[in-house]
Structure 1
């Protein structure tokens, strides 16, 4: 069995390219089906597959009878509407031990923009659940991910890898604090109602801003989140006319197209009489048109712009990283050992079936002899002889046939399996 992985992340690809390969949870099942059907034309059967898609990365994990990395790259490039060469220049491809090590590092937070952050583990579990529900998860990938979760748990409990890590939400608050003298006087708008917005709202709410509002496509979900923070709820359709009311805007939705355009922000800046406006776009693909960044009095940050903020303090955790890498290495070796054992399973099953067939035949023969009144000891002796003769027949035949080299190989194997001392 072969395992391979393909991905792009915040260190290898810009946010706009990552946006082309971002898959919402409701897109995962049909995407996995299309991928597996495509690869099945090159392989003997449909491979196992899972897709991990977040604001910082999109990764495909597969397992099949043989590697199909090139075909996977070709398929992903077509799905994102880019050339294979462009995707290859920004992607990383991994197989077997490399794929396992990468999965373990991702789950443990070592490959994240925020070193040691815990959110990625929940996102990986969501990806595994989606693959399982789509019928795309098999024994091999299930083992890979379950071991990833186990390794991540050990890393977090045995090291200080997550100590003092700065989340994306906390980084946004820190940047806002550099622009505004008193966060308690600003008005904040959150666009979306997912996990990232919930984290951001929690961090901003801790600064007791003058006003909080939440705009979401589904009012019910927006109202539920707003109730936690005593916030106002807006319709997405109201955004263009009310954008000027807010000093800070944080957006993270699953929209495939920008929902805050350049024109709307230009009008808002004019109505604000050029008072500064702080905007954070945590979505991939973008929620806010990139041209907004060029406007005066607007300070727009994307997930990639926050990178230097969340890197703070990582050097102080180098010792914890080394400890984590040692735990991951041990996990990789354990997974590879399991893979090797899995390779022998079909042969073990065939051998067990053959032994059961021999046993059943000799047992049936013994019962017939006992039924006609033969001596019990004689029947048992005949049954044991029959079993040993069946077991040794193949080995004895190899010793008496073939050329000298074949007999020598057979002799060595027989001595190893049947004549080793201490058995």
Structure 2
């Protein structure tokens, strides 16, 4: 059984493709259970974020995975194929290590991906799709990510997606301090964005969410107020900056709602940042003259300038990852010997039991214990070396030397003992 990683990300696929194959969080456990029913997948986890959707799985035959991926999302495989990548074993392990360490992120070294991967593992555990191999893989993954972040400068002065959202807003408005900011959603990304915007002390900060209790908790933390999701369209004219990131499969803000808001604002500009995949704000909104709409792909341009200072750390991080990949491959290889080791122990135990039972019968008949023990030890020795002795006696020609070396290493025999 081999490990594989299959998926697409911001390097290989545009947003329009990525949003078609994003897994809804509330259906992820169900999707995992469905995936492992595709024989012969044995273990699996799914990572689905704004920038990537990836399947990590263990199987003997990976060819069905791409078919399942396309079929599950009701997208033709031919449409997805140009954007998909599949990594086998060593490359898959290295990829998972790099993703968790932030080396494959849109924002190099960003820390959110590690938490997202831990969430993916928890969901796989809930679905019952993690076995010994992948459980060990993720244990090592989190250890590697911690080592990379603690021993290199990969996370120094990081420019996050949230900070980039603030920067984009400041391109349009001289200062966020005088603006009213509306956040749609109440997940981790919105929480991060709210923290960054709150640091600029905006005039007003509002959280809109389907579940008001979550919105109220965030609003209380940042000194803001709340809206129900169905109140957003009506309240939209009162906000200068809108940041949205929900798990909705359909847009929460349409072209018509934004047009009406602009009219009510007398066409004062609005900044809209859509961090959701699938998108929360209809793409047509970008065509309005007084709206500056940014998606997750646009934010990549903002953070690119901060990447140069971290390139030296990348080399160091890659070296750590390569060493840890070798270590995990060694562990996997040793797992391959487990059935043979188990069978060897079982064979030795059967020999021991047979000789012990024979000795007990002799002693029950009154035989001399010393002679019985001597016969027991000789019997065990003869049976245990019978296999290697026969192996050497049957070796011929060029194979004889190799056989002698093999048995010598197996029994730790020194050259002068051979």
Q: Conserved in 2, the CA contact under 8 Å of 1:165 and 1:310?
A: no
Could you tell me which residue of structure 1 aligns to residue 218 of structure 2?
225
Q: Conserved in 2, the CA contact under 8 Å of 1:4 and 1:67?
A: no
Gaps of 5+ in 2: none
Q: Conserved in 2, the CA contact under 8 Å of 1:28 and 1:130?
A: yes
Could you tell me which residue of structure 1 aligns to residue 31 of structure 2?
31
Matching of residue 298 in structure 1 with residue 264 in structure 2: no
Match of 1:53 among 48, 51, 70: 48
SS in structure 1 of the partner of residue 58 of structure 2: strand
SS in structure 1 of the partner of residue 200 of structure 2: coil
Instruction: Tell me how far apart the structure 2 counterparts of residues 418 and 307 of structure 1 sit (CA, whole Å).
Output: 59
Q: Conserved in 1, the CA contact under 8 Å of 2:243 and 2:273?
A: yes
Q: Conserved in 1, the CA contact under 8 Å of 2:25 and 2:247?
A: no
Instruction: Tell me how far apart the structure 1 counterparts of residues 241 and 373 of structure 2 sit (CA, whole Å).
Output: 88
Instruction: Tell me how far apart the structure 1 counterparts of residues 17 and 258 of structure 2 sit (CA, whole Å).
Output: 24
Matching of residue 379 in structure 1 with residue 395 in structure 2: no
Q: Conserved in 2, the CA contact under 8 Å of 1:25 and 1:130?
A: no
Gaps of 5+ in 1: none
Match of 2:141 among 145, 148, 151: 148
Match of 1:264 among 241, 244, 257: 257
SS in structure 2 of the partner of residue 214 of structure 1: strand
Give deviations 1:222-270, integer Å, cap 9, x for gaps: 1111111121111111111111110000000000110100100011111
Could you tell me which residue of structure 1 aligns to residue 229 of structure 2?
236
Instruction: Please state how far the C-alpha of 1:151 moved relative to its aligned partner.
Output: 0.6
Could you tell me which residue of structure 2 aligns to residue 188 of structure 1?
181
Instruction: Tell me how far apart the structure 1 counterparts of residues 70 and 24 of structure 2 sit (CA, whole Å).
Output: 18
Give deviations 1:17-68, integer Å, cap 9, x for gaps: 1111111332111111111112x1xx3xx4100000111111100112x141
Q: Conserved in 2, the CA contact under 8 Å of 1:117 and 1:167?
A: yes
Q: Conserved in 1, the CA contact under 8 Å of 2:408 and 2:414?
A: no
SS in structure 1 of the partner of residue 342 of structure 2: helix
Could you tell me which residue of structure 2 aligns to residue 122 of structure 1?
115
Instruction: Tell me how far apart the structure 2 counterparts of residues 7 and 202 of structure 1 sit (CA, whole Å).
Output: 31
Match of 1:89 among 69, 82, 105: 82
Q: Conserved in 2, the CA contact under 8 Å of 1:159 and 1:320?
A: yes
SS in structure 1 of the partner of residue 323 of structure 2: helix
Q: Conserved in 2, the CA contact under 8 Å of 1:222 and 1:233?
A: yes
Could you tell me which residue of structure 1 aligns to residue 126 of structure 2?
133
Give deviations 1:70-122, integer Å, cap 9, x for gaps: 21111111122222222121111101110000000001000001111111101
SS in structure 2 of the partner of residue 4 of structure 1: strand
Could you tell me which residue of structure 2 aligns to residue 213 of structure 1?
206
Instruction: Tell me how far apart the structure 1 counterparts of residues 357 and 9 of structure 2 sit (CA, whole Å).
Output: 63
SS in structure 1 of the partner of residue 279 of structure 2: coil
Equivalences, count: 416
Could you tell me which residue of structure 1 aligns to residue 244 of structure 2?
251
Could you tell me which residue of structure 2 aligns to residue 160 of structure 1?
153
Instruction: Tell me how far apart the structure 2 counterparts of residues 279 and 243 of structure 1 sit (CA, whole Å).
Output: 11
1:257-406 matched pairs, under 5 angstroms: 257-399=250-392
4+ runs of 1 displaced by more than 3 Å?
395-416
Q: Conserved in 2, the CA contact under 8 Å of 1:252 and 1:282?
A: yes
Two-structure CA RMSD over aligned residues (Å): 1.8
- Tell me the TM-score normalised to structure 1 length: 0.94
SS in structure 1 of the partner of residue 110 of structure 2: coil
Give deviations 1:255-312, integer Å, cap 9, x for gaps: 0110100100011111111100000000000000000001011000000010011222
SS in structure 2 of the partner of residue 311 of structure 1: helix
Could you tell me which residue of structure 2 aligns to residue 74 of structure 1?
67
Instruction: Tell me how far apart the structure 2 counterparts of residues 412 and 378 of structure 1 sit (CA, whole Å).
Output: 35
Instruction: Tell me how far apart the structure 2 counterparts of residues 160 and 374 of structure 1 sit (CA, whole Å).
Output: 75
Instruction: Tell me how far apart the structure 2 counterparts of residues 195 and 111 of structure 1 sit (CA, whole Å).
Output: 20
Higher mean alpha-carbon deviation, 50-59 vs 223-232, is at 223-232
